[in-house]
Structure 1
Amino acid sequence: MKALLKIQMTGAAVLSFSILSACTNTKSNNASYAADSANKAIIEKTDSANNELAVKKDSGNKEALKKADSTNKAKKELKEDASKFLVKSYEASLFEIELAQSAIKHAANASVKKLATDMVASHKDMNGKMQVIAFDASFKLPGGIDSGHAKDLTDLEKLKGADYDKKFMDMIVSGHEKLADSYKEAYSDLSAGETKEYAGKTLPIINSHLEMAKKVKASLK
């Protein structure tokens, strides 16, 4: 079933999922905040349903109820950790894609353009995998980049030539350093499951991106 879902999460299906993932947050104009809030509500609803089921099954057994409550709380925390990692990673990857697409258009250096092209393809692949995991877990993902990242992109595109290239590479290196730390922590701390497995398989790719970016950055004059 999961294999079939992964095949179906292309074309129109991915577009539909992206639309469902989009959340409007008038309070902070922050796509990640909106997705985190939606996921928290989903997890709370599931947790409440589990507690109600436990009450019905063990209404006369206080010890069983206490144990069930403790188990549900632990599961809730694990789900929240996984959902927060997916939201953070997905938004960061969206930002890397937008940065790279900008560089393809505006960068002056050929190596920078080549790196940007590779980044777009790789991060789109990562986001496709995260969409499948989120779909399986009924989690929402950001419908776009956060307002802070949008401003960073706008500021970058005010630059031209070598100044643009240097700033872009600074942002790519910094961004992937943060991503590498986040993926490493997720793989270390998350419980066994699709999200942990994804983090472990993707961390080497993030590290590879980082090394390539450092080399291109060092080559710029």
Structure 2
Amino acid sequence: MVRSLLPLLATGLLTLAACGDANKSTTESNTDSNMANTPAAGTDTTAGAGSAMGDSSAMSGDAMSGGAAKADPNGPTGPHKDDKEFMMTAAHSDQNEIQQSKMALAKGVTGMAKEMANKMIADHTKSTNDLKAIAAKKGVTLPTDMDAEHKAMAPAMEKLSGKEFEAKYMAQMQTDHQKTANTMAAHEKMTQDADLKAFIGKTLPVVEQHLGMAKQGSDMKM
């Protein structure tokens, strides 16, 4: 009886062993498959997303720069039929920006408007001094006040305050600097005066920078 059971017991043990090996093989196969689908440690899984974010950041930077801010010699200009008239116009332009910016600071502007006002006073004071040296060599007396147009708008500006004033100030800076840049670019093409050509060559990029700042401030809808 015992001898007849031994073959059956042996067969059962062999069957169990075979099942165990099969289960182990299946488990190892599943593990290998899962590892193949899992990124290796240290792999950057956000590469694609990072690329897209990089493009978005670049576009945002372009938007924040205020876009192109260039002179248009064919656009609206101030009077500049000859070198003397150009110098008078340039001197008025300096005073327009300086005095409007002093008004802005007196009204307590903040943020970009304050940054703009401080830069206008510093940069246009410098260009005034540069232009004075040229005018003195040529016997031209420069104006020391705003032009008639800006004098006329000053009372309305004085009545404004807060964000309303800041918005108006930045919009006016954009208008003024576009016209000044246009005037310089147009006169550079027609003048034969080496001193004025050098003055425009040095000053126009600064005016275009101011124009870019003003455009950025206006686009932000302060």
TM-score w.r.t. structure 1 length? 0.61
AA at the equivalent of 1:97: I
**Structure 1 or 2: more helix by fraction:** 1
Contact residue 173 and residue 210 of structure 1 kept, 8 A: yes
- Give ranges in structure 1 of 5+ residues lacking alignment: 1-35, 37-77
**Residue number in structure 2 paired with 1:139:** 140
Q: Please report how far the alpha carbon of residue 124 of structure 1 lies from its aligned counterpart in structure 2 after TM superposition.
A: 0.2
> What is the alpha-carbon distance in structure 1 between the residues aligned to residue 213 and residue 97 of structure 2?
14
- Check if 1:94 corresponds to 2:90: no
Say what the alpha-carbon RMSD is for the aligned residues.
1.8
> What is the alpha-carbon distance in structure 2 between the residues aligned to residue 89 and residue 175 of structure 1?
11
The 5-angstrom pairing of residues 96-115 of structure 1 reads: 96-115=97-116
SS of corresponding position for 1:139: coil
Q: What CA deviation, in whole Å up to 9, does each residue of 1:125-184 have, x standing for no partner?
A: 000001000001111111322233112122111111111011111110000000010010
Asked which structure has the greater CA Rg, the reply is 2
Contact residue 95 and residue 144 of structure 2 kept, 8 A: no
The 5-angstrom pairing of residues 1-221 of structure 1 reads: 81-221=82-222
TM-score w.r.t. structure 2 length? 0.61
> What is the alpha-carbon distance in structure 2 between the residues aligned to residue 143 and residue 208 of structure 1?
24
- Give ranges in structure 2 of 5+ residues lacking alignment: 1-78
AA at the equivalent of 1:189: M
Contact residue 173 and residue 213 of structure 1 kept, 8 A: yes
Flag the structure with more relative contact order, 1 or 2, with Cα contacts below 8 A and sequence separation at least 6.
Answer: 2
Q: What CA deviation, in whole Å up to 9, does each residue of 1:49-99 have, x standing for no partner?
A: xxxxxxxxxxxxxxxxxxxxxxxxxxxxx9x71111000010111111001
Q: Please report how far the alpha carbon of residue 107 of structure 1 lies from its aligned counterpart in structure 2 after TM superposition.
A: 4.4
Contact residue 107 and residue 165 of structure 1 kept, 8 A: no
Q: Percent sequence identity over matched residues?
A: 25
Q: Please report how far the alpha carbon of residue 105 of structure 1 lies from its aligned counterpart in structure 2 after TM superposition.
A: 1.6
Report the count of equivalent residues: 144
